[in-house]
Amino acid sequence: MEYVTLNNGVQMPKLGLGVFRMDDAEVRKTVPVALEEGYRLIDTASRYYNEKAVGAALAESGVPRADLFVTTKLWFKDYGYAKTKEAFQVSLDNLGLDYLDLYLMHQPFNDYYGAWRAMEELLDEGRVRAIGLSNFYADRFLDLVTHNRVIPAVNQRETHPLNQQVDTLALLQRHGTVLQAWGPLAQGNQEVLTSSALANIAAAHGKSVAQVILRWLVQRDVTMVVKSTRVARLRENIDIFDFHLSEGEMSIIGGFDRHQPLAGFTHQDPRMIELLLTLA
C-alpha cells in the first residue's frame, strides 16, 4: 500500500474499501477479507446504516487500531454546530472507536458552516485526525476555505475516466486538499470496462482494465475508495502499485472524459437537493 500525506501531516492510504450499499452481513463478510488482503482504509457513512457492522468487523479483525484508517461521514440533515457534535458521537459509538481518522461532511447543503466549526473543534480535541468534504463543488469548496480556519484535508468527488475532474483536481491541489475518488471504476460502466483501447493497455502490463483505471488515478495524485464484495476483485483492486503507465497511455485514458457525472445531474442541480431531501 502507498500513502499520501494530508495537509496536516496525517498519512492516508491511497486506496481504501468503500462500503456504500453493503448490508450488515456483507460488511461482516467483506471487511475481514479486505483487511487480510492489505486494505487499511475503510470508508463508511452515517447514512450507509452499517457503521455498527463496520465497527464489529474491525474489532474482530485483530488489526491494531493504529494501523487502520477509518472514515465516516456526517449527513447534511445533522449539520449545525450542536447537532454535528451529537451526530459525531453517535457515529463514534456505532463504530466502537475512541477517535476517527477522517470525518467528512457528506453533502454541500444546510448549515455546513456550523458543522465545520464543530468539526474544527473535534480536530483540535484530537477526536478526529483529519476533516474534509464529500461532493463539494468548486463554489462551495472555495466558500468554505475562504471563510474558515481549517482547510479541508480531503474532498470526495465522483471521479473516473468519464468524469475526470481535471479542474477540480487543480483547484484542490492549489489549496492543499486531496481529491478522493468515489465510483472510480465508473460504477461498472461498460463503455470503459470493455474498451478495446484500455484492454490493449491492460494487456501490455499484464493487468486488468480495472487495474489500469485505478493506476491512472494514482498517477494523477488522486486517492480512491473502491467497493467490492468479491474476494478476487478485492485482491485485484489493491494490486496496482507494481506497474507504471506511460504518458501516452495516460493520454489515451484522458480522452474518455465527458466532463459530467454518470447520473446526468449534479449537486448544483435542484433535482439532486429534492432527491436527497426524501432520504432519511
What's the angle, vertex CA 189, arms to CA 186 and CA 195, rounded to 5?
105
- In a 10 Å sphere around its CB, with 0-12 CB exposed, 13-18 middle and 19+ buried, how is residue 124 labelled? exposed
In 35-130, at which residue ranges do the beta strands (DSSP E only) sit?
A: 41-43, 69-74, 102-105
What's the angle, vertex CA 211, arms to CA 207 and CA 212, rounded to 5?
85
Cell of 244: 507504471
The answer to whether residue 79 is catalytic is no
Sole residue written with cell 454518470: 262
Cell of 48: 450507509
Q: How crowded is residue 93: how many other Cβ atoms within 10 Å of its Cβ?
A: 12
Contact indicator for 141, 112 with CB cutoff of 8 Å: no
Contact indicator for 159, 183 with CB cutoff of 8 Å: yes
Element (H, E) at 237: helix 231-238
Element (H, E) at 238: helix 231-238
Cell of 65: 487500531
Catalytic residue among 3, 39, 48, 113: 48
Q: Classify strands 178-182 and 69-74 as parallel, antiparallel or unpaired.
A: unpaired
Active site residues: 48
